[in-house]
Each structure stands twice: as C-alpha cells, then as structure tokens.
Amino acid sequence: MAPTRSIAGERVAYVGARLLDPSAGLDAPGGVLTEGEAIIDFGPHVTAGSIPGDAEVVHCNGYCLAPGLVDIRVQLREPGEEHKGTLASGGRAATAGGITSMVCLPNTNPVMDDNSVVEFVARRARLLGLTKVYPYAAVTTGLEGVNLAEMGMLAEAGAVAFTDGVKAIPSARVMRQALLYARTYGLLIVEHAEEPTLAAGGCMNSGELATRLGLVGIPREAEVIIVERDIHLVRMTGGRLHFAHLSTAAAIDAVRQAKRSGIAVTCDTAPPYFAMNENAIGEYRTFAKLSPPLRAEEDRLAVIAGLVDGTIDAIASDHAPEDEDAKRLPFAQAAFGGIGLETLLAVSLELYHNGHLALLDVLRLITCGPAAIMALPAGRLARGARADLTLFDPERAWQVREHELYSKSKNTPFDYRPVQGRVLMTVIDGRRVFALGA
C-alpha cells in the first residue's frame, strides 16, 4: 500500500481495539487518537462516542493495537548491493511486518564508517517515508578490526550505536580501545559474538549432524569465548556493550551471570534461534544457513529460558537478504543469512501461543525493550509522541511463502512454516503505510 500523506491537524481515531502498551503494562479495550504526526490521546476512554466530531474513525474490531515494532538488527544492502535489497524494498517489508523503526548494519558498500554514508542512509530513508531507519556506524574503519572509526563524529552524523556488523572485533586490545572511546561519548558498542579463527571455514553448528552431512562445523564455544572476553573488557573499561543474536546456552548464561554482577551488558536473539534448531537444515537447505548457525535443541531451549527470565533483552529480525545466486549453491558455498522483517511478529508470537510468555512480554521484546537499548524515541504509547502504531490479529493463521513476501530477496528460513499472528495495519507518523489486502 502506498504511503498516505499526513495532513497537518488531521485527526484520526483508532477505536474498538485491544490496546496494548508493554512499557506501561496496559492491556485493555480502548483506542488511540492522533493529530497529524502525533498521538494526542489514548486509553480505555478513547471510544467512538468520545472523540471530536471532525476526526476520521478507524474501527479496529477488537484486534490488538500496539506501538509500532522496533527492530535493531537489519541489513538493508543499500548502498552497494541493491540487487539483494534496497531501503525501499526493506521499508515495504518492514511495514508489512508492523515494524515502524529499525536500525541497519554498516556493512554496506561503501561501509558506514564515514559521515557522508551515514547521512545518505538516514536522508534517503526519510524521503521514502516508510519505516524509520536509524543507522549503525562501524567500530573500525572498513570493518577490518584494526583502526577505530571516528565514533564521536559519526554519532553527530546520526549513528545510534557502533558495530562491525557480521564480524566480531577480533583483537581484545582494539575492543578495549573501542569501549574506552565509546564511554567518553556515552556510546554503545554492539558485538557479533563469534571467535573468527574457530569459526573459519565452518558452515553449520558443530556436532553429530554436521558430521553426518559431511560439513565443517562452527563450535558453540566460538560464541561464548567472545562473550566472556568482552564481559571482562566491559568490567575493565566501564563501557556499554550489547551482544547481538545470541544462540547458545553457554553465552546466555555468561550474560546472565554478568548482569547479576552489575556489568553493563545487554543482548538480543533472533526468531530462528528459539523457533528452529539445526535439524531445519534437512538435506542441505541453504535458506537455513544462518550466522550464527542454527544450534542444537538444548541451545534452542536455553534461548527460550533466557527470554523467559529476562536475560535476553530484545528480539531482532536479523534480516539478511541474499539473492538466488548466493543461496542456490552447495551448502558449504552458499551465503549465510535469512530475511525476517515480515515474520518477526508472527514467529515471536509462538512464545505466547506456546505458553512461554504473556502477550505483553512478547511485545516488550520487540517494542520498548529494543528501543530502550538504542535510546530510540519509539516502542511506547505517549501523548505527544509520534503516531507509530501496528494493528494485528494475534490469532490469524497463515503460512509463510517466499513468493508472497514484500522483501526483494526471498531467502526466508521459515518458508512453508505455519504461523499464527498477522499484521493488519501499520501507521507511521500518523500515515497508514500498510493495510493487509490493500
């Protein structure tokens, strides 16, 4: 659906909804009243009979109305790899998934280690008027893990946090310097926790299945080694660190212990790591080749436990589009990565449908939780805040089919999976940018 133009002063009332705001523990019948780009009122008292006569009325028919989703790990491929995805195609996929704010990785071409590239991405996304895009910038120049980028200047240009994307920072000395530098400016470092020499040449989780398939494995220890190293460095420097897409029991337990000790670390995971295990690879299914790799069942259960006890602070899509030429290859040669913007909500809701988490707790992990980590003005309902909303039916069943997705690349690990929960409408800055079936 094409974005609608926001008219200054235009009022819209979304009424008859199940109103959900995990930041305030709100779960009650109600509605939201917007004016132009902002929320001017919300709550159980916002009903069809209480709103101003000049307001347009949108009947939500009892479906769930919540803050727009916030996704803090997305690869958009623009600039440099537009054949895999663009800011426009990623924005359309995100709005279809109910995502109103997302943070994109810096592994573009050129790399986001320069002010001009950071500013280009932010400006281009604003002009498109789809999901809001906040850029990461690189920790090291060229993502080479050697020389620190000018993080202070990059933050002034619009970078919300710093990461070397799909690479760990291999040197403890460089990571220590990065944490010290970032602390000076109050910045956050985000780490892909995978020790590169242990992971080199691997293409799936180490273990019996890898042996049976004749594939080189990536040991689980590659993840926890970096996590434990970096926890010590945070303790040493007083910096702030976030671990992305954790997938192993040992790494999650290391973060759990660090938090109990008062160390300033947070972490997220992605839907494949609590919804799938390594058996999803089947007979060399390359759409299930992810980084980090799908793990054993015991690790999947540990990820769920980490979500339940609050060790894991957020769920991110880990959207990584790859074209057919990169995926239609022998498993060992195929690219890592899967798309996930349009399945983030539905697969996360499996935690609710399977009884692991309450609905508000699931939403917290994909709204105010990730927004708080990145200090984004998103993920909660507030008077005067931007009118970023998602309307969804948590019970609606559908089957993920790659050819029906908006994403330019179709490499979903969830292809043919039956899921429950569908986005019906997405509102950004008061504009209805997506409506199911429109």
Residue 138: beta bridge partners?
none
Q: Cis peptide leading into 79, omega within 30 of 0?
A: yes
Distance CA 267, CA 188 (A): 12
- Return the DSSP state at 6: P
Residue with tokens 């759990």: 256
Four-CA torsion 266, 172, 155, 255, nearest 10 degrees: 0
Q: Report the candidate in 253, 255, 249, 252 with the shortest Cα–Cα distance to residue 230.
A: 255
Burial label for 396, CB within 10 Å (0-12, 13-18, 19+), is middle
Quote the tokens at residue 361: 């707790």
Return the H-helix or E-strand segment holding 35: strand 26-35
Q: Report the candidate in 115, 127, 133, 113 with the shortest Cα–Cα distance to residue 70.
A: 133
Quote the tokens at residue 174: 């460089």
Distance CA 340, CA 412 (A): 7
Q: Report the candidate in 185, 293, 151, 314 with the shortest Cα–Cα distance to residue 244.
A: 314
318 is catalytic: yes
Q: What is the 3-state secondary structure (H, E, C) of 353-418?
A: HCCCCCHHHHHHHHCHHHHHHHCCCCCCCCCCCECCEEEEEEEEEEECCHHHCCCCCCCCCCCCCE
Among the listed residues 318, 325, 415, 429, the single catalytic one is 318
Quote the tokens at residue 153: 């200047």
Interior/surface letters 412-427, b for 16+ CB within 10 angstroms, e for the rest: bbbbebebbbbbbbbb
What residue spans of 309-343 are helical by DSSP H?
Answer: 324-327
Q: How many whole angstroms from its chain centre is CA 124?
A: 20
Tell me which residues are annotated as active site. 318
